[in-house]
Amino acid sequence: MPSSSCKIVVLISGNGSNLQALIDRSEHYAYRVAGVVSNNPAAFGLQRAAKAGLPAAIIEHRDFPDRETFDGALIEAIGAFAPDLIVLAGFMRILGPDFVEQHAGRILNIHPSLLPKYTGMHTHRRVLEAGEREHGVSIHFVNEDLDGGPIVARSRIAVREEDTEQSLKERVHLLEHEMYPQVTDWYAAGRLRLRADGVYLDEKKLPATGMEIPAPPGVR
């Protein structure tokens, strides 16, 4: 049984399905969810946190006059949990440069596309409109560029002829829920690190597109 000595704090804005996946897998992996932070007081993920007995902080961005004061409050709220790793799970605010610099190499994000393609929003719709044959999920370290940080891992699925935006979204979510706990565990176990020259897993430098994780049977 893992020691769960690595404390993570999860940042959410909405449903929190990836938060739930992280919670559900935590007893089998080397991380422990120490707390949850949300910028949205109505986020359903806060109910998930409460059900799991996790402490949560709400830092609503609309309560602050500018980005700098919001970032300051966010840093303070996260710091109260003393995390080893910050995990963004559907957190719909762009983090400021001071925040990112302060936590460099200790922030992970998950994005529903095969980065570097389709940064930003509405990825499933854009993939369908472009006639892509593949879609998927990427996990990356966060830097100052939107969805542009060094890629840790990707997992891909085929775009089916009958796919809709909703069906793609559902299958991509299944990938996310498998991948995010696994990659978080890599960091927690000391296997994954960001260095000046790139991302390393088990002391081996990963390619720019990260580690390819096969999609589970039935999801592809």
Q: Please answer whether residues 45 and 36 qualify as being in contact, where contact means their C-beta atoms are separated by less than 8 angstroms.
A: yes
User: pLDDT-based confidence at 98, cuts 50/70/90?
Assistant: confident
The span from the CA of 90 to the CA of 117, in Å, is 18
Whether 50 is in a domain gets the answer yes
Whether 11 is in a domain gets the answer yes
**pTM of the complete model:** 0.95
pLDDT in tens, 128-147: 999 999 999 999 999 999 89
Whether 220 is in a domain gets the answer no
Whether 101 is in a domain gets the answer yes
Q: Which residues contact 52 (CB under 8 A, 6 or more apart)?
A: 23, 33
Whether 62 is in a domain gets the answer yes
Whether 124 is in a domain gets the answer yes
Q: Which run of H or of E encompasses 169?
A: helix 165-188
Residue-range definition of the domain harbouring residue 182: 6-212
The span from the CA of 148 to the CA of 50, in Å, is 32
Is it the case that residue 15 has pLDDT exceeding 50? yes
Identify the residue with better confidence: 99 or 52. 52
Instruction: Output the furthest CA–CA distance in the chain (Å, rounded).
Output: 48
Whether 54 is in a domain gets the answer yes
CATH number of the domain at 185, please: 3.40.50.170
Is it the case that residue 3 has pLDDT exceeding 60? no
Residues paired with residue 139 on neighbouring β-strands, in sequence order: 110, 153
111 is catalytic: yes
- Number of structural domains (the chain) is 1
* Active-site pick, 28, 103, 111, 177: 111
1-17: average pLDDT: 84
User: pLDDT-based confidence at 4, cuts 50/70/90?
Assistant: low
Whether 217 is in a domain gets the answer no
Pairing of strands 211-212, 151-158: parallel
Q: Which residues contact 188 (CB under 8 A, 6 or more apart)?
A: 2, 4, 5, 6, 8, 29, 30, 31, 84, 85
